Amino acid sequence: MTDQSDIATKTRPSIRVQNAVKSFSGRVVVDVDDLSLGDVPVEGLIGPNGAGKTTLMRMIMHSTTLDRGTITLHPHGGAGDGVVLSNLPSHRMAHQGVVKSNQVIMDFEKLTIWDSLLLSAAAPGYERPYRVFSEDAVFDQAADDATRYLELFGFGDPTGFAKSAGEKKLLDIVRCLLLKPRFLLLDEPTAGLPEETTAKVMEEVQRLAAQGTSVVIVEHNLDVIWSLCNEVHFMAEGRVIMKGTPQEIRAHRTVVEKYLGEGHV
Ligand SMILES: Nc1ncnc2c1ncn2[C@@H]1O[C@H](COP(=O)(O)OP(=O)(O)O)[C@@H](O)[C@H]1O
Ligand SMILES: [Mg+2]
């Protein structure tokens, strides 16, 4: 397992997406010429439904193949060689520290809350993550971290199963946090969560970003975007058409007219 304690002293990781195209049944849904993510701590990715936000994140994560193009991770920023993510087999992604939450939740129905979190925490470091349960040092660390998040987010009995969609959503976020990501992609993390929980999640995200993790967040709750993001990318019809500070994006006529509507600015 890599030692992550020195991350904060290094430069923030960035991801560059170049000439990346994805189509479904002959229809282009993502077509990004050149996009650099991770140059600031927290970036927002907004745009209408169907703009291609989730697909772009899935392309970065390797959960969907690219028709063409390159996606490169620069672990310490800069323009050096980097790791070409789009050439990596997907099981190698976890070792790069790039982690994504899910818009639609994978189910947590077969494992208890406790077991699913511990397995997630150990997954990137182990070929056989279930060994987390037999190796004391790894178990203790994972258990400490999991306990802290479970308390923070007010989960009751972790030996039970997640029930509501909200609980599963939150567990998926806890799973991401436990992985101590270097680059975190969040796809509508707060949809369906109560306001108080949303605030706590955002606090944790900010804490990670302050420690050197690069965060990209897709979110329909624009208050979250405006308050959290250093920069915002606006996506429409598969293309990233604009980038700016929250103030600039909020003030932009096209964005306001096509997407936000006067009431949301
Ligand atoms: N697996 C898929 N098969 C076919 N079409 C898809 C698939 N995934 C996404 N799409 C289509 O691609 C477009 C972009 O979707 P998506 O990336 O989910 O947008 P967003 O997250 O911005 O709402 C949509 O028109 C959607 O219907
Ligand atoms: Mg989406």
- Hey, where are the domains in the chain? 11-109+162-264
Q: Taking residues 35-59, report their average pLDDT.
A: 96
Q: So what's the pLDDT on residue 4?
A: 46
Atom of ligand 1 nearest to the CA of 48: 22
CA–CA dist 72, 3 (Å, integer): 22
CA–CA dist 229, 94 (Å, integer): 25
Residue 122 has pLDDT above 90, yes or no: no
DSSP label of 153: T
Atom of ligand 1 nearest to the CA of 64: 1
The CA distances from residue 234 to 30, 214, 225, 255, in Å, are 13, 18, 12, 8
Q: So what's the pLDDT on residue 106?
A: 63
The DSSP secondary structure of 12-73, one letter per residue, reads PPEEEEEEEEEEETTEEEEEEEEEEE-SSSEEEEE-STTSSHHHHHHHHHTSS--SEEEEEE
Query: What are the φ and ψ backbone dihedral angles of 208, each rounded to 5 degrees?
Result: -60, -45
Q: How far is the CA of 181 from the centre of ligand 2 (A)?
A: 21
Q: Taking residues 102-119, report their average pLDDT.
A: 81
Where does the pLDDT of residue 91 fall: very low under 50, low under 70, confident under 90, or very high at 90 and above?
A: confident
Q: For a pLDDT cut of 70, what percent of the chain falls above it? A: 89
Query: What are the φ and ψ backbone dihedral angles of 126, each rounded to 5 degrees?
Result: -130, 140
**Amino acid occupying residue 246:** P
Q: Taking residues 17-26, report their average pLDDT.
A: 97
Q: For a pLDDT cut of 90, what percent of the chain falls above it? A: 55
- Ligand 1 binding pocket (C-beta < 6 A) is 24, 29, 47, 49-55
Record the tokens describing residue 2, joined without a space.
């890599």
In sequence order, which residues have a C-beta less than 8 Å from that of residue 174 and are 6 or more positions away?
117, 146, 149, 150, 153
Question: Can you give the pTM of this predicted structure?
Answer: 0.90
Pairing of strands 68-74, 27-37: unpaired
Residue 40 has pLDDT above 60, yes or no: yes
Residue 212 has pLDDT above 60, yes or no: yes
Q: So what's the pLDDT on residue 211?
A: 94
Q: How far is the CA of 97 from the centre of ligand 2 (A)?
A: 22
Record the tokens describing residue 261, joined without a space.
């509507």
- β-sheet bridge partners, residue 16: 36, 72
Determine how many CB atoms are found less than 10 A away from the CB of residue 199: 13
Q: How far is the CA of 29 from the centre of ligand 1 (A)?
A: 7
Strand runs labelled E in the chain:
14-24, 27-37, 42-46, 68-74, 83-84, 98-100, 183-187, 214-218, 231-236, 239-244
Q: Taking residues 103-129, report their average pLDDT.
A: 78
CA–CA dist 32, 22 (Å, integer): 9
Q: So what's the pLDDT on residue 156?
A: 81
Judged by DSSP in three states, 259 sits in: helix
Residue 94 has pLDDT above 90, yes or no: no
The string of pLDDT tens digits covering residues 156-204 is 889 998 888 888 889 999 999 998 999 999 999 988 888 999 999 999 9
Where does the pLDDT of residue 259 fall: very low under 50, low under 70, confident under 90, or very high at 90 and above?
A: confident
By alpha-carbon position, which residue is closest to atom 6 of ligand 1? 24
Q: So what's the pLDDT on residue 6?
A: 44
Q: How far is the CA of 258 from the centre of ligand 2 (A)?
A: 18
The alpha carbons of the chain give a radius of gyration, in whole angstroms, of 18
Q: Taking residues 19-38, report their average pLDDT.
A: 97
Q: So what's the pLDDT on residue 23?
A: 98
**Amino acid occupying residue 94:** A
Calculate the average pLDDT of the chain.
87
Length, in residues, of the chain? 265
CA–CA dist 107, 105 (Å, integer): 6
Q: So what's the pLDDT on residue 152?
A: 94
CATH superfamily of this structure's domain 11-109+162-264:
P-loop containing nucleotide triphosphate hydrolases (3.40.50.300)
Q: Taking residues 208-237, report their average pLDDT.
A: 94
The string of pLDDT tens digits covering residues 132-165 is 777 788 788 889 999 999 999 988 889 998 888 8
